């Protein structure tokens, strides 16, 4: 696995497009605002791209590349297939930016700006984004398979994983708070409901009434594409996710394990009691996540789904 990263501070800067595309940030925000009115969930789906892009060889738009006859991309990796969505939102943003300032704003930066806006537009914090990333010439399905965590991981394993990216346990818990927005499939909870760790039983960490509700939504052998919010207010970016973990109404095993585990429980409690603490830690975590850069050669793609030039 590649963990080579350039020093973000040498490359990225706020207002990077100040001269070349002064309206870049306002164009992205306007597209995200329109998107949210059309389909509320899609802004969450777009925000998730920042995680699935930046953990796989840095924030380089690799997650957006379609497969080619010679390259298996990340869209169809096990954690992404049937789950990552709203690629067309990035296409629409790119189209608007290409009209305003051709061949200038990278797809990798679009993900970073759009993720910030998704959070701000749904009631969460706002932060300054550093820009100037380049788009990759390739993508790696294998790296996506190997790196993007499954919801069967517990807090200890998640701490270890995030540490490899210089992200602390506190960063990891705060970033998991992104599950305040969006939806997950029954597919992601059926083992927890009916066969936790191969036990043939449900996860004892469930609050019983919540479990009852989920077994109705996600019956054994039912349609695993049915979705649920991961907290009780999936359209609002707030600390309800952490309150739900405290009352053992977390959806994913990985979510609930943040409260089960003594290594992370105090952060869950802190964020559940003080939304400002959560918002500050979340913004800080997103900036650190956005600082993960690739050292491979890059370009500004004209279409986020395909490279301009052939990778050699």
Residues that bind ligand HEM (CB under 6 A): 41, 44-45, 47-48, 50-51, 83, 85, 149, 151, 153, 158, 172, 175-176, 178-179, 181-185, 187-188, 252, 254
190 contact partners, CB below 8 Å, separation of at least 6: 218, 220, 224
Q: Is 255 annotated for ligand binding?
A: no
In whole angstroms, the minimum distance from the beta carbon of 151 to ligand NAG comes to 13
Beta strands 135-136; 298-299: pairing state: antiparallel
Contacting ligand NAG within 128-157 (CB under 6 A):
154, 156-157
Q: What is the DSSP string of 97-158?
A: HHHHSTTTS-HHHHHHHHHHHHHHHTT----PPEE---EES---HHHHHHHSPPTT--HHHH
Using alpha carbons, list the distances in angstroms from residue 292 to 50, 60, 300.
Answer: 11, 9, 18
Instruction: Please state the separation of Cα 164 from the chain's center in Å.
Output: 17
Supply the residues annotated as catalytic.
Answer: 52
Stretch that binds ligand NAG, among 30-38, 45-53, 90-98, 271-279 (CB under 6 A): 271-279
Q: How far is CA 288 from CA 48, 98, 129, in A?
A: 15, 28, 11
Q: For residues 254 and 307, which CB has a smaller minimum distance to ligand HEM in the complex?
A: 254
Q: 104: annotated binding-site residue?
A: no
Minimum CB separation from ligand HEM for residue 297, in Å?
26
Contact partner at residue 178 from ligand HEM, ligand NAG, none, CB < 5 to 8 Å by partner kind? ligand HEM
176 binds, among ligand HEM, ligand NAG, none (CB under 5 to 8 A by kind): ligand HEM
> Reduced to 3 states, what is the DSSP secondary structure of residue 14?
strand
Residues lying near ligand NAG in the complex (CB under 6 A) are found at: 3, 5, 82, 154, 156-157, 165-166, 195, 198, 200, 223, 225, 274, 276-277, 292
Binding residues for substrate: 149
């Amino acid at each position: 696995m590649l963990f080579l990263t350039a020093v973000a501070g040498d490359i990225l800067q706020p207002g990077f497009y100040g001269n070349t595309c002064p309206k870049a940030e306002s164009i992205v925000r306007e597209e995200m605002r329109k998107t949210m009115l059309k389909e509320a969930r899609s802004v969450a789906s777009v925000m998730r791209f920042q995680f699935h892009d930046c953990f796989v060889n840095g924030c380089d738009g690799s997650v957006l590349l379609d497969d080619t006859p010679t390259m298996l991309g990340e869209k169809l990796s096990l954690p992404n297939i049937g789950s990552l969505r709203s690629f067309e939102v990035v296409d629409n943003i790119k189209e608007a930016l290409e009209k305003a300032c051709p061949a200038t704003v990278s797809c990798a930066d679009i993900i970073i700006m759009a993720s910030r806006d998704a959070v701000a537009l749904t009631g969460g914090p706002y932060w300054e984004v550093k820009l100037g990333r380049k788009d990759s010439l390739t993508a790696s399905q294998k790296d996506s398979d190997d790196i993007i965590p499954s919801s069967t991981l517990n807090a200890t394993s998640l701490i270890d994983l995030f540490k490899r990216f210089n992200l602390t346990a506190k960063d990891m818990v705060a970033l998991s708070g992104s599950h305040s927005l969006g939806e997950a499939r029954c597919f992601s909870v059926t083992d927890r409901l009916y066969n936790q760790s191969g036990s043939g039983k449900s996860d004892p960490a469930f609050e019983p009434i919540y479990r009852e509700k989920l077994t109705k939504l996600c019956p054994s052998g039912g349609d695993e594409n049915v979705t649920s919010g991961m907290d009780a207010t999936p359209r609002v970016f707030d600390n309800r996710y952490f309150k739900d973990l405290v009352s053992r109404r977390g959806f994913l095993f990985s979510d609930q394990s943040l409260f089960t585990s003594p290594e992370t429980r105090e952060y869950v409690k802190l964020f559940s009691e003080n939304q400002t603490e959560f918002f500050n830690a979340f913004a800080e975590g997103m900036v650190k996540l956005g600082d993960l850069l690739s050292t491979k050669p890059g370009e500004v793609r004209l279409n986020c789904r395909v490279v301009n030039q052939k990778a050699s």
